[in-house]
Amino acid sequence: SVTWVDLDASTPAEGPEAVAKLMEKKYEGATMVVDRVADGVRSSGATLYYDSDAGSGRRGTMYVEVDDAGLITFVQEAWEPLYKPGSLTADLLKAVTANFEKEDKEPTYAPRKPKGASDTVRYLWEEANPGGAELDVALDLFADDILYEDFNFEEPFVGREAVDGFLREFDFPGIEFVPERVSEGKDACAFTWRVLIGGEEGPKGVSFYSVKQGKVDFIRDIPAPAIKPPPLATLAAVLQPKLRVFKPRT
């Protein structure tokens, strides 16, 4: 059996027939380009985008698991939102969590140097962050020329200084980032996650991390849309089925 979770959809596709119908609806007649691939074996992931002669289109991230026979058993994919609220996201979250105060307590995690992409994700989000680490612990693991794509924003954050400013904008109490499925991969990995906002369930998403020379050099975060299916993406799929965006990227 296979479960395919498209975060644009309200329910997952269960079983080969349902997955085939989903893929036909999303990908028929379209050219998909995979530009980054995690190097896991039983679990992996990729970043990808729609493409045509007019240019490149909507971008996505995918997490994948396979069984002993190499058959796909689970997929979760997230796609670029066409409306990007930018810093309004941080403003909204701050308003929702305004009554939460940062706890003054000693860190409970054991500092260490992670080995590879998957281990870096697990160290940051399963050990350091829930163990009370300061933001600098994550920044120390980022390359000087890191490219960080958070699709709440129109433009990526380039370089550690820019990423520092972006992350500090979201560094306040009441928000908990919880990894769910983390793929294998030394050079790159994908993982699924959910966010708790004031202890309540928030958005889910998919991320992709790559590591070069021991430092994270690329991150892509894509959250699930608040409305499913997302209205703008649905309209773009009708008007530009090969790109799924209103205007191609060049």
Backbone conformation region of residue 164, classed left if phi is above 0, alpha if psi is from -120 to 50, else beta: alpha
Q: Which residue has the tokens 């980022």?
A: 142
Which residues neighbour 164 within 8 Å (Cβ) at sequence distance 6 or greater? 135, 139
pLDDT of residue 101: 79
**Which residue, 219, 62, 196, 197, is CA-closest to 143?**
219
pLDDT of residue 173: 76
Report how far Cα 218 is from the mean position of its chain's Cα atoms.
12
What own/partner pairs with CB < 8 Å and gap ≥ 24 does 127-131 have? 129/177, 130/176, 131/107
Q: Report the run of H or E that residue 224 belongs to, with start and end.
A: none
- Pair of tokens at residue 242: 């090969």
pLDDT along the chain (250 residues), means of 10: 95 96 86 95 97 91 97 97 85 79 86 97 96 94 97 95 92 87 98 90 94 97 82 70 75
- Pair of tokens at residue 145: 């020329």
Q: What is the CA radius of gyration of the chain?
A: 18
**C-beta separation of 38 from 228 below 8 A:** no
Beta-bridge partners for 6: 77
Amino acid at 12: P
Amino acid at 84: K
**C-beta separation of 17 from 6 below 8 A:** no
Rounded distance between C-alpha atoms, residue 102 and residue 90, angstroms? 16
pLDDT of residue 96: 75
